[in-house]
Amino acid sequence: MTCENLDEAPDSIESSYDEAVAAGPVAQRIARAAGEGFGAVIINCFLDPGLHAAREVSTIPVVGAGESAIRMALTLGERFSIIDVGRNKYVSRSPTVQVRSMGLAARFASIRGIGVPVLELNEQPDLTVKKIVREARLAVTEDGADVIVLGCTGLARLVDRVRLDVPVINPALSALRIAEALVSLRLMPRGGLRSPVR
């Protein structure tokens, strides 16, 4: 397994703009992955930048962390909420657009933000966990969620500390397990609809 950060992409993705800037480099890098012997690729960002473009040019499975986490939530409950991160107390609209584009608005309870920028998530882990738990409990009691989806793969190190009475989905691990399953089952996409950009 190899993990890469792309120099051409933003350091963190917290807006539709960041997502758009990252999409091209992500798709270009993924287009080369099959030829390098990889069996699958994971986009390790909840907003899945470049996911659909990458799938057009890839002959191996391309798994998005956000899409994987949301689909996993559907197997565990009726309604899910996303706990978002961000530069301020206002949540990004991107995860909501993501849910709607998947046709899942009827099962989407809410999105709640913790107001911690992605690059600061692990600076004060105790405080970050408290904010996640507070918003997740409100999502359950006020919004009717029975599954919580963490809206950032940067929370992977903290997910085991988020103790709730409902399932909490780790998007990074969800993507990894789905990618492993696709490879194990030898399920390959049609992909490769156009020549990879070099």
Query: pLDDT in tens for each of the 198 residues of the chain?
Result: 899 999 999 999 988 889 999 999 999 999 999 899 999 999 999 999 999 999 999 999 999 999 999 999 999 999 999 999 975 555 566 788 899 999 999 999 999 999 999 999 989 999 999 999 999 999 999 999 999 999 999 999 999 999 999 999 999 999 999 999 999 999 999 766 555 545
E strand intervals along the chain: 41-43, 62-64, 80-84, 108-113, 147-150, 168-169
**DSSP characters over 99-121:** HHHTT-GGGEEEEEE----GGGT
Q: Is 13 helix (H, G, I), strand (E, B) or coil?
A: coil
Helix (H) or strand (E) holding 27: helix 16-33
Report the 10 Å Cβ neighbour count for 74. 14
pLDDT of residue 14: 85
What is the C-alpha separation between 129 and 122, in angstroms, rounded? 10
What is the C-alpha separation between 105 and 108, in angstroms, rounded? 5
CATH 3.40.50.12500 domain range(s) in the chain? 66-171
Q: Which CATH number fits domain 66-171: 3.40.50.10470, 3.40.50.12500, 3.40.50.720, 3.40.430.10?
A: 3.40.50.12500
pLDDT of residue 146: 98
Place of tokens 């070099």: 198
What is the C-alpha separation between 88 and 111, in angstroms, rounded? 14
